[in-house]
């Protein structure tokens, strides 16, 4: 039985309150306020070579140490370095390959989050990369320009592998994004911002909490691109921030206290037009691209305000009362001009468009504490079978007063309605992950183009990684019309990974105790 298989949502909240120091709303979780004294590290653009028409990247998962906090060496994992990984970048229409080498002592995997690609290339639990092994997925980029990302997705270990530092961005470009009036100089006015929270103990080690608290580990140290207290120099009138919530459990509400910002893209690409917002809520796995304007010589801070988590039972225990600065922006005395954000229609826009009238299938997904439609993930069971080319509506409902974040592999979907109402602007663009407010129904429109496999599934799951690891995941086959593949046990899959119910999470040497005792910068103040 998994660690909290039998706990009810309410019991988990009560346990957390009992473990916390005084059940005063606002004090159950807290975030440290660092000095913003180190320059934001920009993940390098990954080198690649084009061989026989295939743009080939190389990533090596490895151990290292990182000063997440200044002067404190923390054992971490990264790709091609000690923490996070380089930014991969490719153009629509290009064929790409990534040689993924695992120099760790544990089996991992690399999933291309948000990417439309064959199931065998997806990098989920059915594509483990053993220690010392190299895995080489290849596919053709065939979707709009977007800020995607990559991260491990090994069976039952995703939370820990991502938390240790394995993640990176995968940027896609197309004709519309190249021609757009948007800041586009990577690392200068087009800045990746990976936001994560950590618990770091007195010995500088990362701690994954195991105190029964929902929705997982909420850390008191917030890092951007791997350091706490970062600032970015701004040399242009506008700067584009590509925001990724790379946390395992925390939902942020990102914006600026002293100005609005233009939301220009969501998970899967550009909106129809910019939308002026004060803040954007990002659950684990979600991305947003925003453009913010600055005056010469001024300083401002990207801030996470109290996140509206919807009707969760105890928002103060879920990070919903936490407010803190994330990243400082320092404008130079002279700023180069930036255009007003605008862009045209992409060449492929018509073929990419989703039409509700084309939907021929409606599926219903009820998310409970750790189950989807009453089931936990079983790597040997197929839950859903879709026909290639079909347009579907997925009606997804979070049935309990706890946060969940729903992610579907292979597709970008459109949020048709939230409880029957039109979605807010931050949910109106292409999405692959969506925060589920409790007891609301999200109708998602998607189409399964191009790729079929009668044996290997895509995954759909909660992107709160503790929930995912504890089985909040299902398996979807996309098949040719007339295939005899059906939901149910699959002999083809039975050898892939262990059943979640029996799989605990390995804690590696030097990783630190999974206990809240003796924490510095702990979420529990
Ligand atoms: Cu969840």
Instruction: Report CA(468)–ligand 1 centroid distance (Å).
Output: 7
Tokens of 473: 């995941």
Q: Is the dihedral of CA 105, 106, 109, 110 positive or negative?
A: negative
Residue with tokens 């002026």: 276
Instruction: Report CA(466)–ligand 1 centroid distance (Å).
Output: 8
Residue 281 has a pLDDT of 98
Instruction: Report CA(285)–ligand 1 centroid distance (Å).
Output: 12
Instruction: Report CA(304)–ligand 1 centroid distance (Å).
Output: 21
Cβ neighbours for 198, distance < 8 A, ≥ 6 positions apart? 68, 163, 206, 219, 221, 222, 223, 521
Question: What CATH number has the domain spanning 9-35+182-336?
Answer: 2.60.40.420
Instruction: Report CA(403)–ligand 1 centroid distance (Å).
Output: 6
Instruction: Report CA(76)–ligand 1 centroid distance (Å).
Output: 25
Instruction: Report CA(319)–ligand 1 centroid distance (Å).
Output: 15
Instruction: Report CA(51)–ligand 1 centroid distance (Å).
Output: 41
Instruction: Report CA(398)–ligand 1 centroid distance (Å).
Output: 9
Residue with tokens 């801070």: 301
Render 162-225 in DSSP notation, one character per residue. Answer: HHHT--EEEEEE-HHHHHSBS---BTTTEEEEEEEEE-EETTS-B----SS-SSS---SEEEET
How far, in Å, CA of 234 to CA of 236, rounded?
A: 6
Q: What percent of the chain has pLDDT over 70?
A: 89
Instruction: Report CA(463)–ligand 1 centroid distance (Å).
Output: 6
Confidence category of residue 73, pLDDT binned at 50, 70, 90: very high
Instruction: Report CA(372)–ligand 1 centroid distance (Å).
Output: 10
3-state secondary structure of 104: coil
Q: How many CB atoms lie within 10 A of CB 175?
A: 17
pLDDT at 129 over 60: yes
Q: Which residue has the higher pLDDT, 117 or 503?
A: 117
Instruction: Report CA(161)–ligand 1 centroid distance (Å).
Output: 18
Instruction: Report CA(404)–ligand 1 centroid distance (Å).
Output: 4
Confidence category of residue 210, pLDDT binned at 50, 70, 90: confident
3-state secondary structure of 465: helix
Instruction: Report CA(215)–ligand 1 centroid distance (Å).
Output: 7
How far, in Å, CA of 234 to CA of 299, rounded?
A: 9
Confidence category of residue 492, pLDDT binned at 50, 70, 90: confident
Domain 42-179: CATH architecture, name and number where available: Sandwich (2.60)
Helices (H) and strands (E) counted in the chain, each on its own, are 5, 35
Domain 356-490: CATH architecture, name and number where available: Sandwich (2.60)
Cβ neighbours for 391, distance < 8 A, ≥ 6 positions apart? 354, 355, 358, 359, 360, 361, 445, 446, 447
How far, in Å, CA of 508 to CA of 76, rounded?
A: 11
Q: Please, is 517 exposed, middle or buried when counting C-beta atoms within 10 Å of its C-beta (0-12, 13-18, 19+)? A: exposed
Instruction: Report CA(296)–ligand 1 centroid distance (Å).
Output: 43
Instruction: Report CA(392)–ligand 1 centroid distance (Å).
Output: 23
pLDDT tens per residue across span 391-422: 999 999 999 999 999 999 999 999 999 999 99
Instruction: Report CA(200)–ligand 1 centroid distance (Å).
Output: 24
Instruction: Report CA(406)–ligand 1 centroid distance (Å).
Output: 7
Tokens of 335: 């700023």
Torsion of CA 364, 399, 286, 98, to 10 degrees: -50
Q: Which of 59-63, 204-208, 445-449, 497-501 has the lowest mean pLDDT?
A: 497-501
Instruction: Report CA(374)–ligand 1 centroid distance (Å).
Output: 14
Instruction: Report CA(470)–ligand 1 centroid distance (Å).
Output: 10
Instruction: Report CA(191)–ligand 1 centroid distance (Å).
Output: 29
156: number of CA atoms within 13 Å, CB side?
A: 20
pLDDT tens per residue across span 49-71: 999 999 999 999 999 999 999 99
Instruction: Report CA(360)–ligand 1 centroid distance (Å).
Output: 28
Instruction: Report CA(450)–ligand 1 centroid distance (Å).
Output: 29
Domain(s) of CATH 2.60.40.420: residues in the chain? 9-35+182-336, 42-179, 356-490
pLDDT at 227 over 60: yes
Q: Please, is 362 exposed, middle or buried when counting C-beta atoms within 10 Å of its C-beta (0-12, 13-18, 19+)? A: exposed
Instruction: Report CA(461)–ligand 1 centroid distance (Å).
Output: 8
How far, in Å, CA of 433 to CA of 149, rounded?
A: 12
CB 235, CB 190: distance < 8 Å:
no
How far, in Å, CA of 292 to CA of 103, rounded?
A: 39
């Amino acid at each position: 039985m998994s660690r909290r298989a039998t706990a009810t949502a309410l019991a988990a909240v009560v346990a957390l309150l009992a473990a916390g120091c005084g059940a005063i709303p606002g004090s159950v979780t807290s975030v440290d306020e660092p000095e913003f004294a180190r320059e934001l590290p920009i993940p390098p653009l990954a080198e690649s070579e084009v061989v026989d028409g295939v743009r080939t990247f190389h990533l090596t998962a490895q151990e290292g140490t990182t000063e997440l906090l200044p002067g404190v060496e923390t054992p971490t994992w990264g790709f091609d370095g000690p923490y996070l990984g380089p930014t991969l970048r490719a153009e629509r229409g290009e064929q790409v390959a990534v040689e993924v080498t695992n120099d760790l002592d544990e089996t991992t995997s690399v999933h291309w989050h948000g990417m439309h690609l064959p199931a065998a290339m997806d990098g989920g639990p059915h594509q483990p990369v053993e220690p010392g092994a190299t895995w080489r997925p290849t596919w053709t980029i065939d979707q709009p320009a977007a800020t995607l990302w990559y991260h491990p997705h090994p069976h039952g270990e995703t939370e820990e592998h991502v938390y240790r530092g394995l993640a990176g961005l995968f940027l896609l470009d197309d004709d519309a994004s190249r021609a757009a009036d948007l800041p586009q100089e990577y690392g200068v006015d087009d800045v990746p911002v990976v936001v994560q929270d950590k618990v770091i103990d007195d010995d500088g080690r990362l701690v994954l909490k195991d105190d029964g608290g929902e929705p997982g580990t909420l850390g008191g140290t917030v890092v951007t691109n791997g350091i706490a207290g970062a600032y970015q120099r701004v040399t242009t009138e506008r700067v584009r921030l590509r925001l990724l919530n790379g946390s395992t459990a925390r939902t942020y509400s990102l914006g600026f206290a002293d100005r609005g910002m233009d939301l220009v893209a969501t998970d899967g690409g550009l909106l129809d037009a910019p939308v002026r917002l004060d803040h954007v809520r990002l659950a684990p796995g979600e991305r947003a691209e925003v453009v913010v304007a600055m005056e010469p010589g001024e300083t401002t801070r990207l801030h996470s305000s109290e996140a509206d988590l919807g009707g969760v039972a105890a928002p103060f225990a879920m990070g919903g009362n936490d407010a803190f600065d994330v990243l400082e922006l320092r404008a130079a005395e002279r700023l180069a001009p930036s255009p007003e954000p605008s862009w045209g229609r992409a060449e492929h826009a018509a073929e990419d468009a989703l039409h509700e009238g084309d939907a021929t299938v409606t599926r219903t997904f009820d998310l409970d504490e750790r189950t989807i439609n009453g089931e936990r993930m079983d790597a040997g069971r197929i839950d859903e079978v879709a026909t290639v080319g079909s347009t579907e509506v997925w009606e997804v409902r979070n049935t309990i007063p706890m946060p969940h974040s729903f992610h579907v592999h292979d597709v970008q979907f459109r949020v048709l309605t939230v409880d029957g109402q039109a979605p807010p602007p931050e949910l109106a663009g292409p999405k692959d992950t969506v925060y589920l407010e409790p007891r609301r129904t999200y109708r998602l429109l998607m189409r399964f183009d191009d790729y079929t496999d009668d044996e290997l599934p895509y995954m759909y799951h909660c992107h709160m990684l503790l929930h995912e690891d504890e089985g909040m995941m299902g398996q979807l086959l996309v098949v040719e019309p007339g295939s005899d593949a059906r939901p149910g046990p699959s002999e083809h899959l039975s050898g892939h990974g262990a059943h979640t119910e029996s799989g605990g999470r390995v804690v590696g040497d030097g990783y630190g105790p999974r206990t809240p005792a003796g924490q510095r910068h702990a979420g529990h103040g």
